[in-house]
Structure 1
Amino acid sequence: MHTSGSKRPAVTLFAILLLLVAAACGCQGGGGTAPSPDSSVTSSGQADVLAVKIDNVAPARPPTGLENADLVYVEQVEAGLSRILAVYSSDVPPVIGPVRSARETDLELLRQFDRPTLAYSGAQSALQPSIEAAPLDALPPSKAPDAYFRDPERPAPHNLYLRPEDIPHAASQVDAAEDIGLRFAPAPEGGTPVTERTVSYPSARFTFTWSPEQKTWLVAMDGKASRTASGERLTAADVILQDVTLGPSRFRDKWGNTSPFTQTVGSGSALALRDGKAYDVTWQRDSAASATEYITQDGRPMTFARGQVWIVLVPE
C-alpha cells in the first residue's frame, strides 16, 4: 500500500528528529556506543606511552610493576651504577616503582615515542630546562602529588611509588616496542646457541640465562636472581645488548660526580638474544626523532619473540 503524498513531510520530519536524538546520545548505527573520550587508544593506532625512571640499587629491589613494561632500558649512571627506564603501553599496572630521578640520556631515548609521559622523582636544576623543552609530558611529584606515595616500610629515597590510574594513564593495548618498529615474528635463520650472557658496569652486573623449560631469559642482577615485588622471577622474552658510546654530560650530581651521557643516536654493533640463541646485529638510529633499527648480518630487520624486551646499553 502506498503512502499518500500528504503524509511524506511528517514522516521525513520524524526521521530527522530521530537522527538528531541519536547524535545527541552519541549513538551509532546498530545500537553501538561511541568510544569513550577517555580511551587511551589513539586514532592513529600509536601507543600511549608512560615511561617511568626506576631505581635499581640493592635497597630499591625488588621493583614493583616492572614485569608489566613493554620495554626495559638499562643505562649506566653516576659511580658506575645502573638505572632502569621502563616503558609501558599495552599493560599498565596499578603501582610502579621505586621512582627515581631523570637523566639526559632518558630524553634522547624517549624521542623515539610520540610525546610520552615521563614519571620521575626529580632532576638536577640544570637539567630541568632540557626536560621542559623536550617533546614529552614531564610528570614529577610536584605536578601530580596525588599520583605518588611513599612506602614507610622501605628506606628513603628508595620508597617513592607511582599510581598510574591517578594521572590518569590506562593501558592502550598497543605494544610500545611494536610502535617504534620492533617486529614480533618467527626467528631469523642462523644464530648461535647460548645459555648465558653477562653485562658488567663498574658497580652493577646483569646476567641473562636461558631457561629451556620456561622458554624465557631469567634475569639476575649483581649475582642474585631478580624478582618482582610478588616474588616471581623477572624474565625477558628478548634481550638486546647494544654497544654504545658513554661520555660525560654537562651535569653533576649533588656529590660532584659527573653524570654520564649515553649516545643512542648513531650506529654500532649489538647482540640480540631470543629463543636460546644469540644473533650478531647492527643498530642504527639516524636522528633523535627516529627509532632504532636492529639489522641482521644478511641485511634484514631482526625479529623478536612476543613478550618483554630488555635493551641493555653497554658502554664500549
Structure 2
Amino acid sequence: MQVNRTTLVAVSAIAVVSMAVLSGCTGSQPVPTPSYTPTYVPPPATSIAPLRGTTVPADTLLNPALAAKVDNHEEARPQYGLGHADIVFEELVEGGLTRYVAFWQSDIPAQIGPVRSIRPMDPDIITPFGGIVAYSGGQQRFVEMMIDTPILNIIDGSDAAEGLLYRTSDKDGPHNVGVAAQTIISQHMDLGRAPQMFAYSSSVATSSAMRDGSPGSSINVTFSDERYPTWTFDSAANGYLRYQEGSVADMTDEGGQITATNVVVMTVGIDWQYGPVPRTIMVDSGEAWVSTGGKTIHGTWVKDSREARIRLSDDFGVGIRLAPGNTWIEMPPRDGGSVVVNP
C-alpha cells in the first residue's frame, strides 16, 4: 500500500507533540521547601530588686520592706542579720553615739536587731520605703511622729508585736530586743512590693563612681569623738569593709565582716530643738560622696519632702547610679563631723 507523504508527516508531528506533553507531565517534581522550626528559647523574664538593683526573676521579691531601728552600742554587737540588710543609714543620736535605720527586702533573715527606740528623724528616712518598721518604743512624741505615717508600726510591748519582738538570751538588756523578721514579712505581704529608692547601673564597672570618680581606697567618717567608722576597699570582696572607731573590724553575727558594695556619705544639718536628742535634718540638701569599686565621685544629695526619695547627683547635675548590691549611707553632721576620702 502506498502511504501519502503528507499524512506521514502529520502523524509524526502529532507523535512528537504527544511525547513532549508526556515528557512534561512525567518529569521530576519541585522539591518542597522544608518547614522551619525555631530553636530560640527566650530567656526568663527578669526584674530589678528594688533596694539592691540586682537582677532577679520576674514576679519575685514582691514583699514589702522591713525597717528596724538597730542598736549600735558596743554591747549590741554583733547585731542580728545586719549583714543581710539592703540599705543601712547611720545617724547621730544623743551622747555622740550612732544608731542604724536598716532595711531588709531582698534577703530576709529569721532574726534582726537588737532594736532600740525611735528618733525624730526616722519618719523622714523610713516613709518613702513604705512597708513596716520595728522598734522598741521611744519618747511618746517621737512614737506619735512615726505612727503618723503610712508605715505599719510594730512596737515592742504592743499587741501588734506579740510573738514578733522578744528578748534574746545572748545579750543584756536593753540591747537584746530581737525581731522575727521572716514571720513579720509573711504576715504582711498585702502591703505590696517596696519601691526602688536609687538609680542603679548594670554592674560595678558601669557605676557612676567607677566611670567618673577618683581613686578612693578608704573613707573615714567622723560623727563625734565616740563614733568614727572607716570603710576600706577590698578588691577580693569587690566592696568596702567596715571598721568601728577606725580599727575594730565590724563583724556580723555570722562571723564575717560587714561589707558594702556602695558607701554613700551625706553631710547633714542637725536640729537641737529636742534638747539632748539630735534630729538629723532629712528634708534638705547637702554634699555627698558616693564610693563604689575603689573610686569615689563627689556630688550633692537632695530630699524634697518626707515622702520624697533621696536624689544623688554629681557636680554637673547628672544623676548618680549605684552598683547593684547593698548600700550603707553615713550621715555625719556638717558642723562637727567630717569625711575624708583617701586615694
Question: Under a length normalisation based on structure 2, what TM-score does the superposition of the two structures give?
Answer: 0.73
Which residue is equivalent to 1:133? 148
Report the alpha carbon displacement of residue 286 of structure 1 after superposing the two structures with TM. 1.6
Matched ranges for 1:260-299 at <5 A: 260-299=278-317
- Residue 232 of structure 1 pairs with residue 265 of structure 2: no
The separation in 1 between residues aligned to 2:164 and 2:113, in whole angstroms, is 12
Report the alpha carbon displacement of residue 166 of structure 1 after superposing the two structures with TM. 2.9
The C-alpha deviation readout for 1:94-143, integer Å capped at 9, x for no partner, is: 00011111111111111222x32110011112323222212211101222
Residue 192 to residue 315, structure 1, CA distance change in 2 (3 Å) = same
Identity %: 29
Residue 165 to residue 212, structure 1, CA distance change in 2 (3 Å) = closer
Residue 146 to residue 61, structure 1, CA distance change in 2 (3 Å) = same
Which residue is equivalent to 1:67? 83
Which residue is equivalent to 2:136? 121
- Residue 90 of structure 1 pairs with residue 113 of structure 2: no
Residue 230 (structure 2) aligned to one of 207, 213, 229: 207
Matched ranges for 1:7-86 at <5 A: 48-86=64-102
8 Å Cα contact 2:198/2:321 also seen in 1: no
8 Å Cα contact 1:112/1:288 also seen in 2: yes
Paired AA for residue 264 in structure 1: M
Paired AA for residue 305 in structure 2: S
Residue 144 (structure 1) aligned to one of 137, 140, 161: 161
Residue 243 (structure 2) aligned to one of 204, 212, 220: 220
SS at match of 1:166: helix
Residue 308 to residue 235, structure 1, CA distance change in 2 (3 Å) = same
Which residue is equivalent to 2:330? 312
Report the alpha carbon displacement of residue 181 of structure 1 after superposing the two structures with TM. 3.2
Matched ranges for 1:239-258 at <5 A: 239-250=263-274, 258=276
The separation in 2 between residues aligned to 1:169 and 1:65, in whole angstroms, is 17
The C-alpha deviation readout for 1:224-244, integer Å capped at 9, x for no partner, is: 001111111100000000011
Structure 2: stretches of 5+ with no match in the other structure = 1-58, 335-343
SS at match of 2:106: coil
Q: Aligned residue pairs: how many? A: 267
Paired AA for residue 201 in structure 1: F
Report the alpha carbon displacement of residue 175 of structure 1 after superposing the two structures with TM. 9.0
Which residue is equivalent to 1:33? none
The separation in 2 between residues aligned to 1:296 and 1:126, in whole angstroms, is 37
SS at match of 1:123: coil
The separation in 2 between residues aligned to 1:265 and 1:212, in whole angstroms, is 35
Paired AA for residue 255 in structure 2: G
The separation in 2 between residues aligned to 1:128 and 1:149, in whole angstroms, is 19
The C-alpha deviation readout for 1:208-237, integer Å capped at 9, x for no partner, is: 000112211001112300111111110000
8 Å Cα contact 1:112/1:289 also seen in 2: yes
The separation in 2 between residues aligned to 1:63 and 1:182, in whole angstroms, is 28
After superposing on structure 2, the runs of 4+ consecutive aligned residues of structure 1 that deviate more than 3 Å are: 168-172
Q: Which has the larger radius of gyration?
A: 2
Aligned-residue RMSD, C-alpha: 2.5
Report the alpha carbon displacement of residue 63 of structure 1 after superposing the two structures with TM. 0.9
Paired AA for residue 127 in structure 1: F
8 Å Cα contact 2:114/2:178 also seen in 1: yes
8 Å Cα contact 1:90/1:171 also seen in 2: no
8 Å Cα contact 1:283/1:293 also seen in 2: yes
SS at match of 1:270: strand
